């Protein structure tokens, strides 16, 4: 089977990214871009990001997860620590995050190091989740094979009965990661494929080195 996609064309011309606009703190620029995406009302989940890790088999793997918070320290997401991504991070905590916001013709690509959140922070977020999501964290042995969906549905029904009227505590194998960035690249689509690419790289003195990259 073969399909030629060479005629797919798009002109990028919605915005620009100049040195005068970026400031000296990439997290502040990320916050500005994120708020602009939210306000644009053109992306269902602006906090959806791709997380790329190096798996135990030596291959990179990417998947989309939801960022739940960002601060001056970095980016936070939650998962099962025993999942494929959790096992990969335990061996190699260096990973890549990327955001793609097509309605504004923007990408952000982040290299960073992941570390587990403090347990009390993971506890607090778990308590805020809908009860169904709490039970889901107990039901699923994430990334492990299962014979059928019926198995998962049966486990859920059993746990619904077991925890009826009871508080559900966060399981030890589930929690958050903070990704501390060492590099952030902001990509803004421009005409003629001469896109704006501005990269911030963290230096030993914790200042950010800023470079414009060729598209």
Q: What is the residue-level pLDDT of the chain in tens, covering all 215 positions?
A: 889 988 888 889 999 999 999 999 999 999 999 999 999 988 999 999 999 999 999 999 999 999 999 999 999 999 999 999 999 999 999 999 999 999 999 999 999 999 999 999 999 999 999 999 999 999 999 999 999 999 999 999 999 999 999 999 999 999 999 999 999 999 999 999 999 999 999 999 999 999 999 99
Catalytic residue among 193, 197, 199, 212: 193
Kindly list the structural domains of the chain, giving each domain's residue range(s) and its CATH number in brackets, ordered by start: 19-127+173-213 (2.30.110.10)
Residue 69, φ and ψ in degrees, nearest 5:
-170, 150
Helix (H) or strand (E) holding 202: strand 196-202
Task: Give the predicted TM-score (pTM) of the model.
Answer: 0.94
pLDDT at 185: 98
CB 81 within 8 A of CB 116: yes
Q: What's the DSSP call for residue 57?
A: T
Radius of gyration of the chain (CA): 20
pLDDT at 163: 94
pLDDT at 42: 86
pLDDT at 1: 85
Q: Where are the beta strands (DSSP E) in 55-195?
A: 60-66, 69-70, 75-80, 94-101, 106-116, 174-188
193 counts as catalytic: yes
Gap between the Cα atoms of 170 and 174, Å rounded = 7
Residue 179, φ and ψ in degrees, nearest 5:
-100, 115
């Amino acid at each position: 089977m073969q399909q030629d996609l060479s005629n797919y064309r798009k002109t990028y011309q919605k915005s620009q990214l100049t040195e005068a606009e970026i400031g000296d703190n990439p997290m502040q620029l990320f916050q500005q871009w994120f708020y602009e995406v939210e306000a644009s009302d053109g992306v269902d989940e602006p906090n959806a990001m791709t997380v790329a890790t190096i798996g135990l088999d030596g291959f990179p793997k990417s998947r989309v997860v939801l960022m739940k918070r960002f601060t001056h320290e970095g980016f936070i997401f939650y998962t099962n620590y025993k999942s494929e991504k959790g096992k990969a991070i335990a061996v190699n905590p260096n990973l890549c995050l990327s955001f793609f916001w097509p309605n504004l013709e923007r990408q952000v690509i982040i290299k960073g190091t992941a570390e587990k959140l403090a347990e009390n922070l993971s506890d607090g977020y778990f308590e805020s989740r809908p009860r169904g999501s709490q039970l889901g964290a107990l039901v699923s042995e994430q990334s492990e094979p299962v014979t059928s969906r019926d198995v998962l549905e049966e486990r859920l029904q059993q746990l619904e009965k077991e925890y009826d009227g009871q508080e559900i505590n966060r399981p030890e194998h589930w929690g958050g990661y903070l990704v501390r960035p060492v590099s952030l690249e902001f990509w803004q689509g421009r005409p003629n494929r001469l896109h704006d690419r501005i990269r911030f790289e963290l230096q030993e003195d914790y200042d950010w080195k800023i470079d414009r990259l060729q598209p």
